[in-house]
Structure 1
Protein backbone atom coordinates (compact mmCIF):
# COMPACT_ATOMS: atom_id res chain seq x y z
CA UNK A 1 0.00 0.00 0.00
CA UNK A 2 1.43 3.44 -0.92
CA UNK A 3 2.24 5.61 2.07
CA UNK A 4 4.00 8.80 2.98
CA UNK A 5 7.12 8.59 5.11
CA UNK A 6 5.60 11.14 7.51
CA UNK A 7 2.58 8.89 8.09
CA UNK A 8 4.75 5.84 8.73
CA UNK A 9 6.98 7.79 11.12
CA UNK A 10 3.98 9.03 13.10
CA UNK A 11 2.44 5.55 13.35
CA UNK A 12 5.74 4.06 14.47
CA UNK A 13 6.30 6.76 17.09
CA UNK A 14 2.79 6.14 18.42
CA UNK A 15 3.49 2.42 18.61
CA UNK A 16 6.73 3.04 20.50
CA UNK A 17 4.97 5.42 22.90
CA UNK A 18 2.30 2.84 23.66
CA UNK A 19 4.55 -0.23 23.75
CA UNK A 20 6.34 0.49 27.00
CA UNK A 21 9.21 -1.72 25.80
CA UNK A 22 11.83 -1.67 23.04
CA UNK A 23 10.76 -2.47 19.48
CA UNK A 24 12.97 -3.99 16.84
CA UNK A 25 12.49 -3.95 13.07
CA UNK A 26 10.21 -6.99 13.11
CA UNK A 27 7.89 -5.51 15.73
CA UNK A 28 7.99 -2.15 13.96
CA UNK A 29 6.93 -3.79 10.71
CA UNK A 30 4.02 -5.51 12.49
CA UNK A 31 2.91 -2.25 14.14
CA UNK A 32 2.89 -0.49 10.78
CA UNK A 33 1.02 -3.37 9.13
CA UNK A 34 -1.71 -3.17 11.79
CA UNK A 35 -2.18 0.47 10.73
CA UNK A 36 -2.46 -0.49 7.06
CA UNK A 37 1.11 0.45 6.12
CA UNK A 38 2.93 -2.41 4.45
CA UNK A 39 6.73 -2.15 4.29
CA UNK A 40 9.59 -4.63 4.44
CA UNK A 41 11.50 -5.38 7.63
CA UNK A 42 14.59 -3.68 6.18
CA UNK A 43 12.54 -0.56 5.46
CA UNK A 44 11.21 -0.61 9.02
CA UNK A 45 14.79 -0.85 10.23
CA UNK A 46 15.77 2.20 8.13
CA UNK A 47 12.81 4.12 9.48
CA UNK A 48 13.90 3.36 13.05
CA UNK A 49 17.41 4.55 12.22
CA UNK A 50 16.03 7.78 10.74
CA UNK A 51 13.98 8.41 13.88
CA UNK A 52 17.10 7.73 15.93
CA UNK A 53 18.99 10.30 13.87
CA UNK A 54 16.30 12.87 14.68
CA UNK A 55 16.61 12.15 18.40
CA UNK A 56 13.07 10.76 18.58
CA UNK A 57 14.09 7.21 19.57
CA UNK A 58 17.08 5.73 21.39
CA UNK A 59 18.81 2.35 21.32
CA UNK A 60 17.99 -0.06 24.14
CA UNK A 61 20.83 -2.52 23.75
CA UNK A 62 20.12 -5.44 21.44
CA UNK A 63 16.40 -5.35 22.21
CA UNK A 64 15.57 -2.55 19.80
CA UNK A 65 14.66 1.08 20.27
CA UNK A 66 12.53 3.07 22.70
CA UNK A 67 10.92 6.47 22.29
CA UNK A 68 12.68 9.48 23.81
CA UNK A 69 11.09 12.43 25.59
CA UNK A 70 11.55 14.43 22.40
CA UNK A 71 9.73 11.66 20.56
CA UNK A 72 6.84 11.84 23.01
CA UNK A 73 6.66 15.61 22.52
CA UNK A 74 6.53 15.08 18.77
CA UNK A 75 3.65 12.61 19.11
CA UNK A 76 1.73 15.08 21.30
CA UNK A 77 2.42 17.86 18.80
CA UNK A 78 1.21 15.79 15.85
CA UNK A 79 -1.93 14.79 17.74
CA UNK A 80 -2.56 18.49 18.35
CA UNK A 81 -2.10 19.32 14.67
CA UNK A 82 -4.46 16.51 13.66
CA UNK A 83 -7.09 17.67 16.16
CA UNK A 84 -6.80 21.27 14.96
CA UNK A 85 -7.12 20.17 11.33
CA UNK A 86 -10.23 18.15 12.18
CA UNK A 87 -11.80 21.17 13.94
CA UNK A 88 -11.02 23.42 10.98
CA UNK A 89 -12.53 20.96 8.51
CA UNK A 90 -15.63 20.72 10.68
CA UNK A 91 -15.84 24.51 10.75
CA UNK A 92 -16.07 24.72 6.96
CA UNK A 93 -18.59 21.88 6.64
CA UNK A 94 -21.69 23.76 5.46
CA UNK A 95 -24.90 22.20 6.80
CA UNK A 96 -27.16 25.23 7.21
CA UNK A 97 -27.72 28.61 5.57
CA UNK A 98 -25.94 30.35 8.46
CA UNK A 99 -22.89 28.11 7.86
CA UNK A 100 -22.69 29.36 4.29
CA UNK A 101 -22.92 33.00 5.36
CA UNK A 102 -20.30 32.48 8.08
CA UNK A 103 -17.97 30.90 5.53
CA UNK A 104 -18.41 33.78 3.09
CA UNK A 105 -17.65 36.21 5.91
CA UNK A 106 -14.47 34.26 6.72
CA UNK A 107 -13.49 34.39 3.05
CA UNK A 108 -13.99 38.14 2.97
CA UNK A 109 -11.83 38.62 6.07
CA UNK A 110 -8.98 36.54 4.67
CA UNK A 111 -9.12 37.27 0.94
CA UNK A 112 -9.21 41.04 1.18
CA UNK A 113 -5.85 40.87 2.99
CA UNK A 114 -4.41 38.34 0.56
CA UNK A 115 -5.42 40.31 -2.53
CA UNK A 116 -3.38 43.27 -1.23
CA UNK A 117 -0.31 41.04 -1.39
CA UNK A 118 -1.29 39.91 -4.86
CA UNK A 119 -1.29 43.53 -6.02
CA UNK A 120 2.17 44.02 -4.52
CA UNK A 121 3.82 40.82 -5.76
CA UNK A 122 2.04 39.57 -8.91
CA UNK A 123 4.30 38.97 -11.90
CA UNK A 124 3.45 38.74 -15.60
CA UNK A 125 2.92 34.96 -15.45
CA UNK A 126 0.51 35.41 -12.55
CA UNK A 127 -1.43 38.07 -14.44
CA UNK A 128 -1.57 35.89 -17.55
CA UNK A 129 -2.97 32.99 -15.53
CA UNK A 130 -5.61 35.21 -13.92
CA UNK A 131 -6.63 36.69 -17.29
CA UNK A 132 -6.99 33.18 -18.71
CA UNK A 133 -9.25 32.18 -15.82
CA UNK A 134 -11.49 35.23 -16.27
CA UNK A 135 -11.82 34.44 -20.00
CA UNK A 136 -12.70 30.82 -19.25
CA UNK A 137 -15.21 31.95 -16.62
CA UNK A 138 -16.95 34.27 -19.10
CA UNK A 139 -16.95 31.56 -21.77
CA UNK A 140 -18.58 29.03 -19.44
CA UNK A 141 -21.38 31.45 -18.62
CA UNK A 142 -21.91 32.39 -22.28
CA UNK A 143 -22.34 28.69 -23.10
CA UNK A 144 -24.70 28.11 -20.20
CA UNK A 145 -22.19 25.84 -18.46
CA UNK A 146 -21.49 25.66 -14.73
CA UNK A 147 -18.74 28.24 -14.14
CA UNK A 148 -17.54 26.71 -10.85
CA UNK A 149 -14.01 25.70 -11.82
CA UNK A 150 -12.60 28.87 -13.43
CA UNK A 151 -14.44 31.16 -11.01
CA UNK A 152 -13.16 29.34 -7.93
CA UNK A 153 -9.71 28.81 -9.43
CA UNK A 154 -9.42 32.59 -9.90
CA UNK A 155 -9.60 33.01 -6.12
CA UNK A 156 -7.32 30.04 -5.45
CA UNK A 157 -4.74 31.42 -7.88
CA UNK A 158 -4.69 34.72 -6.00
CA UNK A 159 -4.10 32.84 -2.74
CA UNK A 160 -0.95 31.32 -4.23
CA UNK A 161 0.52 34.83 -4.47
CA UNK A 162 0.43 35.33 -0.71
CA UNK A 163 3.76 35.38 1.15
CA UNK A 164 2.04 35.43 4.52
CA UNK A 165 2.06 31.78 5.57
CA UNK A 166 -0.63 32.00 8.30
CA UNK A 167 -2.99 33.87 5.98
CA UNK A 168 -2.35 31.42 3.16
CA UNK A 169 -2.94 28.45 5.47
CA UNK A 170 -6.28 29.91 6.60
CA UNK A 171 -7.30 30.57 2.99
CA UNK A 172 -6.32 27.03 1.99
CA UNK A 173 -8.70 25.69 4.64
CA UNK A 174 -11.56 28.04 3.75
CA UNK A 175 -11.19 27.41 -0.01
CA UNK A 176 -9.98 23.81 0.19
CA UNK A 177 -11.53 20.85 -1.69
CA UNK A 178 -14.60 20.87 0.57
CA UNK A 179 -15.44 24.33 -0.76
CA UNK A 180 -16.27 22.88 -4.21
CA UNK A 181 -19.66 21.87 -2.83
CA UNK A 182 -20.22 25.39 -1.53
CA UNK A 183 -19.34 26.89 -4.90
CA UNK A 184 -22.01 24.72 -6.52
CA UNK A 185 -24.55 26.11 -4.06
CA UNK A 186 -23.48 29.64 -4.95
CA UNK A 187 -23.79 28.84 -8.67
CA UNK A 188 -27.37 27.70 -8.08
CA UNK A 189 -28.22 30.86 -6.16
CA UNK A 190 -26.56 33.22 -8.65
CA UNK A 191 -28.24 31.37 -11.51
CA UNK A 192 -31.62 31.79 -9.85
CA UNK A 193 -30.96 35.54 -9.64
CA UNK A 194 -29.47 35.66 -13.18
CA UNK A 195 -26.41 37.44 -11.76
CA UNK A 196 -23.69 35.03 -12.94
CA UNK A 197 -22.07 37.66 -15.15
CA UNK A 198 -21.60 40.02 -12.19
CA UNK A 199 -18.85 37.78 -10.84
CA UNK A 200 -16.97 37.96 -14.14
CA UNK A 201 -17.04 41.76 -14.12
CA UNK A 202 -15.97 41.85 -10.47
CA UNK A 203 -13.11 39.44 -11.17
CA UNK A 204 -11.99 41.64 -14.05
CA UNK A 205 -11.94 44.71 -11.78
CA UNK A 206 -9.98 42.80 -9.13
CA UNK A 207 -7.52 41.74 -11.82
CA UNK A 208 -7.19 45.32 -13.11
CA UNK A 209 -6.31 46.51 -9.60
CA UNK A 210 -3.75 43.71 -9.16
CA UNK A 211 -2.19 44.50 -12.54
CA UNK A 212 -1.97 48.19 -11.60
CA UNK A 213 -0.32 47.34 -8.30
CA UNK A 214 -3.16 49.16 -6.51
CA UNK A 215 -3.46 47.25 -3.23
CA UNK A 216 -6.16 49.50 -1.74
CA UNK A 217 -8.46 49.17 -4.76
CA UNK A 218 -7.81 45.41 -4.97
CA UNK A 219 -8.84 45.04 -1.32
CA UNK A 220 -11.94 47.17 -1.70
CA UNK A 221 -13.04 45.39 -4.89
CA UNK A 222 -12.54 41.94 -3.38
CA UNK A 223 -14.49 42.97 -0.29
CA UNK A 224 -17.38 44.30 -2.42
CA UNK A 225 -17.38 41.14 -4.56
CA UNK A 226 -17.69 38.76 -1.59
CA UNK A 227 -20.11 41.07 0.23
CA UNK A 228 -22.40 41.07 -2.81
CA UNK A 229 -22.42 37.26 -2.83
CA UNK A 230 -23.28 37.20 0.89
CA UNK A 231 -26.19 39.57 0.29
CA UNK A 232 -27.50 37.37 -2.53
CA UNK A 233 -27.36 34.31 -0.28
CA UNK A 234 -29.26 36.22 2.43
CA UNK A 235 -32.00 37.17 -0.04
CA UNK A 236 -32.29 33.63 -1.39
CA UNK A 237 -31.99 31.80 1.93
CA UNK A 238 -33.51 33.92 4.70
CA UNK A 239 -33.01 32.64 8.23
CA UNK A 240 -36.58 31.29 8.41
CA UNK A 241 -36.21 29.28 5.19
CA UNK A 242 -33.55 26.76 6.17
CA UNK A 243 -35.69 23.85 4.84
CA UNK A 244 -35.04 25.19 1.32
CA UNK A 245 -31.32 25.08 2.00
CA UNK A 246 -31.60 21.51 3.28
CA UNK A 247 -33.46 20.49 0.11
CA UNK A 248 -30.67 22.01 -1.98
CA UNK A 249 -28.05 20.08 -0.02
CA UNK A 250 -30.00 16.83 -0.35
CA UNK A 251 -30.37 17.33 -4.10
CA UNK A 252 -26.65 18.01 -4.46
CA UNK A 253 -25.76 14.93 -2.42
CA UNK A 254 -28.04 12.84 -4.63
CA UNK A 255 -26.42 14.18 -7.79
CA UNK A 256 -22.97 13.45 -6.36
CA UNK A 257 -23.93 9.83 -5.57
CA UNK A 258 -25.18 9.33 -9.15
CA UNK A 259 -21.84 10.32 -10.71
CA UNK A 260 -19.77 7.43 -12.03
CA UNK A 261 -16.86 6.46 -9.77
Structure 2
Protein backbone atom coordinates (compact mmCIF):
# COMPACT_ATOMS: atom_id res chain seq x y z
CA UNK A 1 0.00 0.00 0.00
CA UNK A 2 1.32 3.41 -0.95
CA UNK A 3 1.81 5.60 2.14
CA UNK A 4 1.19 9.28 2.13
CA UNK A 5 1.50 12.02 4.72
CA UNK A 6 -2.05 11.55 5.96
CA UNK A 7 -2.05 7.78 6.29
CA UNK A 8 -1.69 6.44 9.82
CA UNK A 9 1.19 4.26 10.71
CA UNK A 10 0.26 0.58 10.63
CA UNK A 11 -3.22 1.28 9.22
CA UNK A 12 -4.61 -0.39 6.11
CA UNK A 13 -8.28 0.66 6.29
CA UNK A 14 -9.49 3.60 4.17
CA UNK A 15 -11.99 4.64 6.86
CA UNK A 16 -9.20 5.45 9.26
CA UNK A 17 -7.79 8.00 6.83
CA UNK A 18 -11.02 10.07 6.85
CA UNK A 19 -10.93 12.65 9.63
CA UNK A 20 -13.86 12.43 12.03
CA UNK A 21 -16.22 15.39 12.30
CA UNK A 22 -16.17 16.93 15.74
CA UNK A 23 -19.52 18.16 16.91
CA UNK A 24 -19.47 21.58 18.49
CA UNK A 25 -20.99 21.62 21.97
CA UNK A 26 -24.44 23.18 21.95
CA UNK A 27 -25.09 25.87 24.51
CA UNK A 28 -27.33 24.67 27.29
CA UNK A 29 -30.49 26.62 27.83
CA UNK A 30 -31.25 27.68 31.35
CA UNK A 31 -34.41 26.20 32.75
CA UNK A 32 -37.10 28.67 33.63
CA UNK A 33 -37.26 32.36 32.99
CA UNK A 34 -34.52 34.44 34.46
CA UNK A 35 -35.77 37.60 36.12
CA UNK A 36 -33.94 40.83 35.54
CA UNK A 37 -32.10 41.87 38.67
CA UNK A 38 -33.45 45.36 39.22
CA UNK A 39 -32.73 47.79 42.04
CA UNK A 40 -33.80 46.64 45.50
CA UNK A 41 -37.22 47.75 46.69
CA UNK A 42 -37.56 49.98 49.68
CA UNK A 43 -39.29 48.98 52.88
CA UNK A 44 -42.28 51.20 52.11
CA UNK A 45 -42.82 49.68 48.64
CA UNK A 46 -42.56 46.12 49.97
CA UNK A 47 -45.10 46.91 52.70
CA UNK A 48 -47.58 48.44 50.24
CA UNK A 49 -47.20 45.56 47.78
CA UNK A 50 -47.79 42.99 50.51
CA UNK A 51 -50.93 44.79 51.69
CA UNK A 52 -52.24 45.04 48.12
CA UNK A 53 -51.61 41.34 47.42
CA UNK A 54 -53.22 40.34 50.71
CA UNK A 55 -56.31 42.37 49.85
CA UNK A 56 -56.56 40.72 46.44
CA UNK A 57 -56.31 37.20 47.86
CA UNK A 58 -58.44 37.74 50.98
CA UNK A 59 -62.17 37.25 51.35
CA UNK A 60 -62.52 39.54 54.36
CA UNK A 61 -63.46 36.73 56.76
CA UNK A 62 -59.93 35.71 57.71
CA UNK A 63 -58.97 36.29 61.32
CA UNK A 64 -55.76 38.05 62.23
CA UNK A 65 -53.34 35.41 63.61
CA UNK A 66 -52.07 38.05 66.05
CA UNK A 67 -55.67 38.57 67.30
CA UNK A 68 -55.76 42.25 66.33
CA UNK A 69 -55.69 45.09 68.83
CA UNK A 70 -58.42 46.49 71.10
CA UNK A 71 -56.76 49.76 72.10
CA UNK A 72 -59.42 51.69 70.10
CA UNK A 73 -56.77 54.11 68.78
CA UNK A 74 -55.72 55.14 72.30
CA UNK A 75 -52.35 53.38 72.15
CA UNK A 76 -51.76 53.35 68.37
CA UNK A 77 -52.79 55.76 65.59
CA UNK A 78 -56.19 55.39 63.97
CA UNK A 79 -56.27 53.14 60.90
CA UNK A 80 -56.20 55.13 57.67
CA UNK A 81 -57.91 52.29 55.75
CA UNK A 82 -60.67 51.06 58.09
CA UNK A 83 -61.03 53.41 61.08
CA UNK A 84 -64.22 51.75 62.35
CA UNK A 85 -66.02 48.45 61.95
CA UNK A 86 -69.27 49.08 60.09
CA UNK A 87 -70.95 46.13 61.86
CA UNK A 88 -70.16 46.44 65.58
CA UNK A 89 -68.70 49.97 65.68
CA UNK A 90 -65.31 49.00 67.14
CA UNK A 91 -62.68 51.71 66.65
CA UNK A 92 -59.75 50.15 64.77
CA UNK A 93 -56.13 51.24 65.08
CA UNK A 94 -53.44 50.82 62.43
CA UNK A 95 -52.49 47.35 63.72
CA UNK A 96 -55.84 46.02 62.46
CA UNK A 97 -55.09 45.48 58.77
CA UNK A 98 -57.97 45.87 56.28
CA UNK A 99 -57.50 42.40 54.78
CA UNK A 100 -58.53 40.78 58.08
CA UNK A 101 -61.95 40.63 59.68
CA UNK A 102 -62.97 42.68 62.69
CA UNK A 103 -61.28 41.23 65.79
CA UNK A 104 -64.50 41.60 67.80
CA UNK A 105 -67.44 40.53 65.62
CA UNK A 106 -65.53 38.67 62.89
CA UNK A 107 -67.26 40.49 60.02
CA UNK A 108 -65.51 42.03 57.03
CA UNK A 109 -64.47 45.64 57.52
CA UNK A 110 -64.66 46.50 53.80
CA UNK A 111 -67.37 46.21 51.19
CA UNK A 112 -66.32 44.76 47.80
CA UNK A 113 -66.47 48.20 46.17
CA UNK A 114 -64.41 49.74 48.97
CA UNK A 115 -61.86 46.90 48.70
CA UNK A 116 -61.44 47.47 44.95
CA UNK A 117 -61.06 51.21 45.49
CA UNK A 118 -58.44 50.61 48.19
CA UNK A 119 -56.49 48.26 45.88
CA UNK A 120 -56.48 50.96 43.17
CA UNK A 121 -55.28 53.52 45.72
CA UNK A 122 -52.46 51.21 46.81
CA UNK A 123 -51.42 50.69 43.18
CA UNK A 124 -51.19 54.46 42.74
CA UNK A 125 -49.17 54.82 45.96
CA UNK A 126 -46.77 52.06 44.86
CA UNK A 127 -46.22 53.68 41.45
CA UNK A 128 -45.64 57.06 43.06
CA UNK A 129 -43.18 55.64 45.59
CA UNK A 130 -41.21 53.78 42.89
CA UNK A 131 -41.07 56.92 40.72
CA UNK A 132 -39.74 58.96 43.65
CA UNK A 133 -37.10 56.33 44.42
CA UNK A 134 -35.95 56.19 40.78
CA UNK A 135 -35.79 59.98 40.67
CA UNK A 136 -33.72 60.06 43.85
CA UNK A 137 -31.44 57.31 42.52
CA UNK A 138 -30.88 59.20 39.26
CA UNK A 139 -30.18 62.40 41.18
CA UNK A 140 -27.61 60.60 43.34
CA UNK A 141 -25.87 59.25 40.21
CA UNK A 142 -25.72 62.72 38.67
CA UNK A 143 -24.32 64.20 41.87
CA UNK A 144 -21.69 61.45 42.04
CA UNK A 145 -20.68 62.10 38.42
CA UNK A 146 -20.49 65.83 39.06
CA UNK A 147 -18.35 65.28 42.14
CA UNK A 148 -16.08 62.91 40.23
CA UNK A 149 -15.59 65.43 37.43
CA UNK A 150 -14.65 68.17 39.89
CA UNK A 151 -11.43 66.38 40.91
CA UNK A 152 -8.67 64.94 38.68
CA UNK A 153 -8.68 61.16 38.48
CA UNK A 154 -5.68 58.91 37.88
CA UNK A 155 -5.56 56.71 34.83
CA UNK A 156 -5.37 52.94 35.06
CA UNK A 157 -1.64 52.88 34.20
CA UNK A 158 -0.70 55.56 36.72
CA UNK A 159 -2.90 53.95 39.38
CA UNK A 160 -1.22 50.60 38.82
CA UNK A 161 2.27 52.14 39.02
CA UNK A 162 1.48 54.14 42.15
CA UNK A 163 2.83 52.37 45.24
CA UNK A 164 0.28 51.57 47.90
CA UNK A 165 -2.68 51.78 45.54
CA UNK A 166 -5.86 49.84 46.22
CA UNK A 167 -5.29 47.18 43.57
CA UNK A 168 -1.66 46.59 44.63
CA UNK A 169 -2.57 46.40 48.30
CA UNK A 170 -5.35 43.93 47.59
CA UNK A 171 -3.06 41.84 45.40
CA UNK A 172 -0.25 41.82 47.96
CA UNK A 173 -2.61 41.29 50.91
CA UNK A 174 -5.59 39.25 49.70
CA UNK A 175 -8.51 38.52 51.96
CA UNK A 176 -8.21 35.45 54.22
CA UNK A 177 -4.47 35.07 53.55
CA UNK A 178 -2.56 32.82 55.95
CA UNK A 179 -0.02 34.74 58.04
CA UNK A 180 2.89 33.68 60.20
CA UNK A 181 2.49 34.82 63.80
CA UNK A 182 5.57 35.09 65.99
CA UNK A 183 4.88 34.88 69.74
CA UNK A 184 7.12 34.82 72.80
CA UNK A 185 6.24 32.73 75.83
CA UNK A 186 6.91 34.78 78.96
CA UNK A 187 7.41 31.72 81.15
CA UNK A 188 9.61 29.49 79.00
CA UNK A 189 11.26 32.37 77.10
CA UNK A 190 10.80 30.44 73.88
CA UNK A 191 9.75 31.78 70.52
CA UNK A 192 6.79 30.10 68.85
CA UNK A 193 5.80 30.47 65.18
CA UNK A 194 2.19 29.70 64.26
CA UNK A 195 0.06 30.04 61.14
CA UNK A 196 -3.09 32.13 61.38
CA UNK A 197 -5.88 32.47 58.83
CA UNK A 198 -8.57 35.10 59.51
CA UNK A 199 -12.14 33.79 59.28
CA UNK A 200 -14.10 34.55 56.14
CA UNK A 201 -17.02 36.93 56.67
CA UNK A 202 -19.57 37.08 53.90
CA UNK A 203 -21.46 40.22 52.99
CA UNK A 204 -24.76 38.56 53.73
CA UNK A 205 -23.67 37.66 57.25
CA UNK A 206 -22.39 41.16 57.91
CA UNK A 207 -25.62 42.64 56.56
CA UNK A 208 -27.65 40.41 58.86
CA UNK A 209 -25.65 41.66 61.82
CA UNK A 210 -26.24 45.27 60.91
CA UNK A 211 -29.91 44.75 60.17
CA UNK A 212 -31.98 45.15 63.29
CA UNK A 213 -35.25 43.38 63.88
CA UNK A 214 -38.36 45.51 63.85
CA UNK A 215 -39.80 46.08 67.32
CA UNK A 216 -43.02 44.21 67.98
CA UNK A 217 -45.93 46.51 68.77
CA UNK A 218 -47.72 46.05 72.06
CA UNK A 219 -51.27 44.86 71.42
CA UNK A 220 -54.21 45.32 73.76
CA UNK A 221 -56.03 41.99 74.19
CA UNK A 222 -59.77 41.56 73.91
CA UNK A 223 -61.82 42.31 77.03
CA UNK A 224 -63.10 39.33 79.02
CA UNK A 225 -66.40 37.88 77.93
CA UNK A 226 -67.77 37.99 81.49
CA UNK A 227 -67.84 41.27 83.39
CA UNK A 228 -66.62 40.92 86.98
CA UNK A 229 -69.05 42.55 89.41
CA UNK A 230 -69.37 42.54 93.17
CA UNK A 231 -72.27 40.77 94.85
CA UNK A 232 -71.76 42.58 98.18
CA UNK A 233 -74.30 45.18 99.19
CA UNK A 234 -72.75 48.63 99.76
CA UNK A 235 -72.61 50.05 103.28
CA UNK A 236 -74.85 53.13 103.67
CA UNK A 237 -72.28 54.69 106.00
CA UNK A 238 -69.48 54.16 103.47
CA UNK A 239 -70.99 54.16 99.99
CA UNK A 240 -67.57 54.73 98.42
CA UNK A 241 -66.15 51.44 99.71
CA UNK A 242 -64.67 49.21 97.04
CA UNK A 243 -66.47 45.91 97.48
CA UNK A 244 -64.19 44.09 95.01
CA UNK A 245 -61.41 43.99 97.59
CA UNK A 246 -59.02 46.45 95.96
CA UNK A 247 -57.02 48.75 98.21
CA UNK A 248 -58.59 52.10 97.30
CA UNK A 249 -58.83 55.12 99.59
CA UNK A 250 -61.54 57.72 99.17
CA UNK A 251 -60.29 61.30 99.03
CA UNK A 252 -63.05 63.88 99.62
CA UNK A 253 -63.03 66.97 97.43
CA UNK A 254 -61.34 70.00 98.89
CA UNK A 255 -63.47 72.93 99.94
CA UNK A 256 -62.36 76.44 99.13
TM-score relative to the length of structure 1: 0.24
Rg larger for:
2
* Higher helix fraction (1 or 2): 1
TM-score relative to the length of structure 2: 0.24
RCO greater where, 1 or 2, for CA within 8 Å and sep 6 or more?
1
